[in-house]
């Protein structure tokens, strides 16, 4: 059984994470990585979904080191038959914030100084009321939370979910305009061309042309959505 959910995220706070750093400008690209979404939606490190993650890889109560465990956490999602795509912007605006700080060497290295040299940086954030969209493909029904937290500031966001029932699985050439994780699709599909979205930890792709691949053609009102089939989390 395959269940496809069309999900939207509406920001209620400004969203910030550093997609790219240009000098002192820290820019947030209007796209949400599928790794981050899995954590924000509570699919990772949850007793309900992940029963195979060792306790040493758990983030439930305490994180002893700043080392991501993507392979351990997300491979368990494959075992549960759950896959979340990256989220694209349906509507967004950006805001630019400037922050300043002083030289605090005397706090860190116990140095005496008569200087107080201020420095600054700029953060380009995604404004509240911006809307993103992603898809969740599962082998069983899933109840997602209504409210989640995203980004460095743990910004509040509202999740709305719609189950799509009118779809078929077919095999032929196709184009997917939605952002995808290349590691998750290139193993099972032959990709002809794509546009790259540079962002850590794995750059995403969109407007992807596939050669004779299995995919879902989904009807939602008068819109046809095309998504690759057989997507799962893979790591180089």
Split at pLDDT 50, 70, 90, the class of 23 is confident
Q: Is 11 within a domain?
A: yes
The pLDDT of 26-48, averaged and rounded, is: 86
| Secondary structure class of 226 (helix, strand, coil) | strand
d(CA 154, CA 51) in angstroms, rounded, equals 26
The three-state secondary structure class of 56 is helix
Whether 72 is covered by a domain: the verdict is: yes
Encode 55-94: b = buried (16+ Cβ within 10 Å), e = exposed.
eeebeeeeeeeeeebeebbbbbbeebebbbbbbbbeebee
Closest CA to 164 of 125, 202, 115, 221: 221
Domain membership of residue 140 as a residue range: 3-228
The answer to whether the predicted template modeling score (pTM) of the entire model surpasses 0.75 is yes
Q: Does residue 235 sit within a domain?
A: no
Give the CATH number of the domain where residue 85 resides.
Answer: 3.30.70
Local structure of 224: helix, strand or coil: strand
Q: What digits encode the pLDDT tens for the residues 128-186? A: 999 999 999 999 999 999 999 999 889 999 999 999 999 999 999 999 999 999 999 99
pLDDT attached to residue 68: 80
236 in any annotated domain: no
Is 233 inside any structural domain?
no
Three-class SS state of 106? helix
Is residue 97 one of the residues assigned to a domain?
yes
Lookup: tokens for 111? 């140095």
Over residues 118-130, mean pLDDT? 87
Please indicate, yes or no, if residue 206 is contained in any of the structural domains.
Answer: yes
Q: What pLDDT, on the 0 to 100 scale, is given for residue 101?
A: 67
Q: Encode burial over 31-44: b for 16+ CB neighbours within 10 A, e otherwise.
A: bbbbbbbbbbbebb
Whether 23 is in a domain gets the answer yes
**224, two tokens:** 């046809």
Span 43-74, pLDDT tens digits: 986 544 444 444 554 555 556 667 788 998 89
Which residues, 6+ apart, have CB-to-CB distance to 10 below 8 Å?
129, 130, 131, 157, 158, 160
Domains in the chain: how many in total? 1
- Which two tokens mark 152? 């460095």
């Amino acid at each position: 059984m395959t269940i496809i959910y069309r999900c939207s995220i509406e920001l209620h706070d400004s969203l910030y994470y550093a997609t790219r750093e240009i000098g002192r400008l820290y820019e947030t690209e209007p796209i949400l990585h599928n790794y981050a979404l899995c954590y924000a939606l509570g699919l990772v490190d949850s007793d309900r979904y992940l029963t195979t993650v060792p306790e040493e890889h758990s983030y439930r109560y305490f994180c002893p080191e700043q080392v991501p465990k993507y392979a351990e956490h997300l491979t368990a999602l494959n075992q549960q038959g759950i896959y979340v795509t990256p989220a694209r912007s349906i509507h967004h605006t950006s805001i630019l914030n400037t922050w300043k700080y002083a030289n605090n060497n005397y706090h860190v290295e116990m140095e005496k100084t008569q200087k107080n040299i201020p420095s600054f940086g700029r953060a380009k954030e995604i404004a509240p009321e911006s809307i993103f969209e992603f898809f969740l493909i599962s082998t069983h029904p899933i109840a997602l939370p209504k409210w989640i937290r995203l980004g460095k500031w743990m910004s509040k966001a509202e999740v709305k979910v719609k189950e799509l029932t009118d779809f078929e699985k077919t095999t032929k050439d196709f184009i997917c305009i939605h952002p995808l994780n290349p590691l998750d699709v290139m193993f099972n599909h032959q990709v002809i061309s794509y546009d790259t979205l540079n962002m850590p930890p794995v750059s995403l792709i969109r407007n992807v042309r596939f050669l004779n691949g299995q995919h879902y053609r989904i009807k939602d009102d008068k819109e046809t959505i095309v998504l690759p089939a057989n997507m799962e989390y893979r790591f180089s």
